[in-house]
Chain A
Amino acid sequence: MSSGSSPELPKAEKGIIDAIGKLGEKAKLIYAKPNRIKFSVQRDDLVEVARFIRDELHFDHATNVTGTDFPKDGQLEITYHLGSHDGGEELRRIILAISCRIPSNDPKLPTLVNEYPSVLYHERETAEMIGCVFEGHPNLGRLLLPEDWTDIPPMLKAFRLPGRLEGE
């Protein structure tokens, strides 16, 4: 799916890709389809790219934050899905995803709470479900898991239910 801006893409998507293209190496296009665009960024550039997208492209809120475990690569992928409320009709239908791969043995990522306040709870949930530490987040306490949870984060592939599933 590593196509560039394919000819049938609508104008708004092309505009976004061109604008982010100005960042050069910092943001790499992963796919671009009508209504869906995904970029990957490095851990150190995340805040800068997020600020650029918010200020220049009018993507003013984050709809969710997800985490994926890639045990073969030894990496976690944290993805922010961004949307736009007041960017006009064209932007409103687009979901812009920016993803960041971080090593599993050092799962740290700078928080985007200051850029997108709505990620407050999403980051908290991602932190407890996949074990990623969002540095600078005001409160990464327990949110959904039971208070007495002592196992590894349940969305990691290495997680096994006690007594239910035998090894793979």
Chain B
Amino acid sequence: MVAQELESQQQQQQPPKKGSASLHSHEGPGLNILVGKAREVIQQAIVDPVTYLANWGRLYSLWPVHLETACCSIEWGAVSGPRFDAERYGILEAFGSLRQCDLVVVHGTVTRKMAPRLRFIYDQMPEPKWVIAMGACSISGGVYFDSYNVLPGVDQVIPVDVYVPGCPPRPEELIDAFILLQDKIRNSNIKKTS
């Protein structure tokens, strides 16, 4: 009986018609995820509604600093542009004051001379703040790892939340990093500052 059912299901699925079978197979896991998310949200909202609300407000209004240190910033341009459009996820490049920003995306190579400035920028931003290290250079020095003038990893000067490897990373990877960061913010405790 089961085998017959399976067979009939396969037969139904094979022709790529707009039939009910293909729609149904797409709907199943989607619904599960939806139910899981809803449970998560309800649990968090009931257990600690203040934290939930604050995190919800923070995670969809991330304002990155406009700080372009190296060639990775080209990909950042693509991410903020209309094709990949990070604004969909609530990441809006802000050109105002550092006091309004809460995210530093380190675009690649940071030289020894730039390092104190980077720290200075980080210190000027109000809490809470997050850091994404983008590109091999900002993670480990990348191709310049044995240069006298390049910092081997920005985590020597500022705490990093998400690392995005690549040289340069694809825009999709960066968007993935944003989503990871939003996950982190969603599950973080507001009383403990980063």
Contacts and interface: CB of A to CB of B under 8 A. Distances in A.
A146 B146 contact: no
Interface residues of B, number: 9
Interface stretch (A37-45, A68-76, A97-105, A159-167): A159-167
Contacts of A144: 113, 149
Contacts, number: 20
Interface residues of A, number: 10
Main secondary structure of the interface of B (DSSP, over half): loop
A76 B164 CA distance: 43
B24 to A, nearest CB: 59
Main secondary structure of the interface of A (DSSP, over half): loop
Contacts of B115: 146
A128 to B, nearest CB: 12
Contacts of B39: none
A165 B146 CA distance: 8
Contacts of A147: 113
B112 interface: yes
A144 B148 CA distance: 12
Contact of A154 (B111, B113, B145, B149): B149
Question: 3 closest A-B pairs (Cβ-Cβ)?
Answer: A154-B148, A146-B113, A146-B112
6 contacts: A144-B113, A145-B113, A146-B149, A161-B146, A164-B145, A164-B146
Interface of A: 144-147, 151, 154, 159, 161, 164-165
